[in-house]
A and B are shown apart, each in its own frame.
Chain A
Amino acid sequence: MPVKKMRKVLSLPDSLFHWLTMASALMIIVLMISFFAQLLWYSLPSIREFGWGFVLSQEWDPVRNLYGAAGAIYGTLVTTLIAMLIAAPLSFGIALFLVEFAPPYLSRVLGQAIDLLAAVPSIIYGMWGLFVFVPIMQKHVQPFLADTLGLKALPFFSGPQMGFGLLTSGIILALMILPFISAVMRDVFRMVPPVVKESAYGTGATTWEVTADVTTRYGMQGLLGALFLGLGRAIGETMAVLFIIGHVQQVSFSLFAPGTTISATLANNFAEAEGISKSVLFELGLILLVISFLIQIAAQYWLNKVRRSTGGGL
């Protein structure tokens, strides 16, 4: 009730400001809904033509106008998964070192470096990937994995070693999201109140025990949030993978094989697309948006669960 009373006495500038901020916030909702609606509208011809089979079909034949999204969806998910598997533990280690172990001066320098790395545009990662990293993958990493370690018996590491493909793209994505995740994780660790940690040390716990049972537990929600932030960036990333993924519409279990992602498919084809192929691209865009949306929901759900089970302050 007191709030309502307050509102009545708002002066003109105040109420103007109130409406202005509300309009700005509403704009987000309008944008989101119209994005969905327009993508859906432009996807309709493709949805009518290919139905649900679109999501499962690997077909991509622009000459006969037969399209399927399985290759692009698979590539998107696999590269993102690889990126997360690499970036998550690395970021955790980086953030922990910066907060718990590094001397202050080193922590400051490394922290600056991470922030700077996070500001590098993704096209730079793509360019570096194509000219520097792909040859390294082809000459050293892939032969090492397949031959030296003998992993080529597994389907994941078999096939020709061209340097391009899902694994290379996943690693580049990992490098790209690494600074984001570690920067957020660093802040999460910093926000753990010293008094909580000190009391743990006071009971005779080692650094490892404090980290595992106190810091990580306390900041669990923040850490998960950091991971989802990285995930969100990796899944829609275009320029970093466009040049190095090889762009072949297929579902291949070999990580050395070229593949493609949804965003790379869009970037490669939209300039020349017309008719049904344009509609197919819009449907791919819609699918990417839906995937991101589902991840958001899963993230929220998980965060709530963690909040209930561990408590925690962040």
Chain B
Amino acid sequence: MDASIKKLFGLSLGLAAGLGAISGLAAETLNGAGATFPAPVYNKWTYNYGQSCGTKINYQSIGSGAGIAQIKAKTVNFGASDEPLAKEEMDKFGLMQFPMLIGGVVPVVNLPGVEPGKLKLSGKLLADIFLGKISKWDDPAIKELNPELKLPSFPVAVVHRSDSSGTTWIFTNYLGKVSEEWAKGPGNGKDVKWPCGVGGQKNPGVANNVLKMAGAIGYVEYTYAVEAKMNCVNLQNKDGKFVAPALENFAASAANADWQNTPGFFMVLTEQPGEKTWPISGVTYILIYKEQASAATAKEMIKYFSWCYTEGAKLASELNYVPLPENVVKMVKDEWKKSLKAEGKQLVE
């Protein structure tokens, strides 16, 4: 079955490539597949890049896990994943990964009588809520952090993702860092054994369920919180400051992270230091082979990724995603120089 799926996939890619060649748009067609979280940006990028530079790029948002499987099967030129691969796994397959975009995961609530953006929670308290240990919104622990708010005596209704997702991976990674009980209990994964609550289908499903139930709390990608005009929670970061979810605060978490000492860019942007840092930020990655079969294709691909870091950055901000800080982009480019080879020669001068 796997083999036939691969064959089918290869066939459809071949067809797509064939069509690209026939239309005379481009000498090269690049194929990528993976993460759904950055898909809105990737789709915009591939469209704009195709318009201005002529190279046709197909991106299929089939999920991070499937993206990793496809690049390992060599059916695509690049894979995309929200979860970084461990260094051993990359070395085993001869892959390299580099960060492409930064986004934030935001706890959202539906609390009648509480103005949007006013509720403050600590990481520990957020974990306790998702552990099912806090049953009412006027719990003393919540009141203590929010003395100025009139908290309703609603029961707390937890909403989580029902499908496995990179968003859940980032969120549970954070909860595990701020609460030992969470780390020992449900733990960190794309899907976990939720102690309580009801599931929502993807980001829009969670947003919809939260908007529908008074007293609900859930977590979504920032874009969805903005689009649905949801009531976002302020979180206490590692420096003890309460911060609101905002693009510059996601960027702060990336800027303050210690990229220099993380081999293979294995960076998880949760609970990073810094006064402005939003504690639940995430990176989405691109995966490519260190040894590229065709120098022409590889050069085209690197040209595209460089374009994404420069021209693409503005487009990303428009869609509520954070482009990579310049110092990190420089590190990525250094890594390209060091590691990428095509037809036995160094690829990037």
A positions within 8 Å CB-CB of B:
38, 42, 59-64, 130-131, 134-135, 138, 160, 162-165, 242-243, 246-248, 258, 260, 264, 267-269, 271-274
Interface flag for B73 (CB, 8 Å)? no
Among the 9-residue stretches B198-206, B235-243, B313-321, the one with 4 or more Cβ atoms under 8 Å from chain A is B198-206
Are A272 and B164 within 8 A (Cβ)?
A: yes
Which listed residue (A62, A134, A260) contacts B190, Cβ 8 A? Answer: A62
List the B side residues contacting A271 at CB < 8 Å: 62-63, 65-66, 163-164
Are A272 and B199 within 8 A (Cβ)?
A: no
Distance in angstroms from A194 CB to nearest chain B CB is 50
Q: Which of B125-155 contact A (CB under 8 A)?
A: 155
Are B198 and A248 within 8 A (Cβ)?
A: yes
Interface size class, chain B: 20 to 34
Distance in angstroms from A82 CB to nearest chain B CB is 18
Are B188 and A272 within 8 A (Cβ)?
A: no
A59 vs B192: C-alpha distance in the bound complex, in angstroms?
11
A268 vs B164: C-alpha distance in the bound complex, in angstroms?
7
Are A162 and B192 within 8 A (Cβ)?
A: no
Q: A138-B212, A272-B64 are in contact. List 19 more A-B contacts (CB 8 A).
A: A59-B193, A61-B193, A62-B192, A63-B187, A63-B192, A134-B212, A138-B213, A246-B199, A247-B199, A248-B194, A260-B162, A268-B162, A268-B163, A268-B191, A268-B199, A269-B164, A272-B165, A272-B191, A274-B68
Interface flag for B22 (CB, 8 Å)? no
List the B side residues contacting A59 at CB < 8 Å: 193
Interface flag for B116 (CB, 8 Å)? no
Distance in angstroms from A124 CB to nearest chain B CB is 15
Are B165 and A61 within 8 A (Cβ)?
A: no
Interface flag for B157 (CB, 8 Å)? yes
Are B193 and A272 within 8 A (Cβ)?
A: no
22 contacts between A and B (CB under 8 A): A60-B193, A62-B164, A62-B193, A63-B188, A64-B187, A130-B208, A134-B212, A160-B157, A162-B198, A165-B198, A242-B201, A247-B162, A258-B198, A260-B162, A260-B199, A268-B163, A268-B164, A268-B199, A271-B65, A271-B164, A274-B68, A274-B69
Interface flag for B50 (CB, 8 Å)? no
A257 to chain B: closest residue by CB: B198
Distance in angstroms from B15 CB to nearest chain A CB is 22
A273 vs B62: C-alpha distance in the bound complex, in angstroms?
12
Given that A248-B199, A269-B163 are known contacts, is A274 also in contact with B65, CB under 8 Å in the complex?
yes
Interface flag for B186 (CB, 8 Å)? yes
How many CB-defined contacts (below 8 Å) exist between A and B? Answer: 88
Q: Which of B30-89 contact A (CB under 8 A)?
A: 62-66, 68-69
List the B side residues contacting A274 at CB < 8 Å: 65, 68-69
Distance in angstroms from B26 CB to nearest chain A CB is 29
Q: Which of A38, A60, A165, A271 has the most CB of B within 10 A?
A: A271
Q: Which 8 A-B pairs have the closest CB atoms?
A: A247-B162, A247-B199, A271-B63, A272-B65, A63-B187, A61-B193, A272-B164, A63-B189
Which listed residue (B66, B157, B187) contacts A162, Cβ 8 A? Answer: B157
Distance in angstroms from A268 CB to nearest chain B CB is 4
List the B side residues contacting A61 at CB < 8 Å: 186, 192-193
A34 to chain B: closest residue by CB: B1
A160 vs B216: C-alpha distance in the bound complex, in angstroms?
12
A243 vs B204: C-alpha distance in the bound complex, in angstroms?
11
A162 vs B197: C-alpha distance in the bound complex, in angstroms?
10
Distance in angstroms from A137 CB to nearest chain B CB is 11
Are B63 and A63 within 8 A (Cβ)?
A: no
List the A side residues contacting B163 at CB < 8 Å: 247, 267-269, 271-272
Which listed residue (B164, B199, B212) contacts A258, Cβ 8 A? Answer: B199
B62 to chain A: closest residue by CB: A271
A41 to chain B: closest residue by CB: B1
Are B1 and A38 within 8 A (Cβ)?
A: yes
Distance in angstroms from B327 CB to nearest chain A CB is 32
A165 vs B209: C-alpha distance in the bound complex, in angstroms?
13
Are B186 and A63 within 8 A (Cβ)?
A: yes
A59 vs B165: C-alpha distance in the bound complex, in angstroms?
20
List the B side residues contacting A42 at CB < 8 Å: 1
B155 to chain A: closest residue by CB: A160
A135 vs B235: C-alpha distance in the bound complex, in angstroms?
30
A249 to chain B: closest residue by CB: B193
Are B65 and A273 within 8 A (Cβ)?
A: yes
